Amino acid sequence: MVSKKIIIKNPSGLHARPAGVLAKEAAKCKSEVTIIDGDKQIKAKTILNIMSAAIKKGTEIELRCEGETEKEDLEKLSSMIESGLGEQI
């Protein structure tokens, strides 16, 4: 298992558009992808799970990957989150 702490920089947090981008990429990963937000553990492979967490700008999350390609998956997904998931940050 590998993990990384990331601060959400998107102006509106992880709303529909960035949540969709993240879920789509997480679904391609061979490892299990989980977002930790305080005491919540969110499975990141579906948009509804991510959106229901209501993660706002400035929130520090922990992105956790566990499985066959965990290091590569963590690097790819954390880089995408840090760059705004396609949004201007």
Asked whether 35 and 51 are in contact (CB, 8 A), the reply is no
Q: What is the CATH number of the domain that holds 15?
A: 3.30.1340.10
Q: What token pair was written down for 2? A: 């590998």
**pLDDT at residue 59, as a whole number:** 97
Number of domains in the chain: 1
From first to last of its 89 residues, the chain has per-residue pLDDT tens of 999 999 999 999 999 999 999 999 999 999 999 999 999 999 999 999 999 999 999 999 999 999 999 999 999 999 999 999 999 88
**pLDDT at residue 9, as a whole number:** 96
Q: Clarify whether 15 is annotated catalytic.
A: yes
Position of tokens 């937000």? 37
Catalytic residue among 15, 17, 56, 76: 15
In a domain, 47, yes or no: yes
In a domain, 89, yes or no: no
What is the pTM (predicted TM-score) of this model?
Answer: 0.94
**pLDDT at residue 64, as a whole number:** 98
Domain of residue 30 covers: 2-82
Distances (CA, A) of 30 to 23, 36, 52, 62, 87: 13, 19, 23, 19, 25
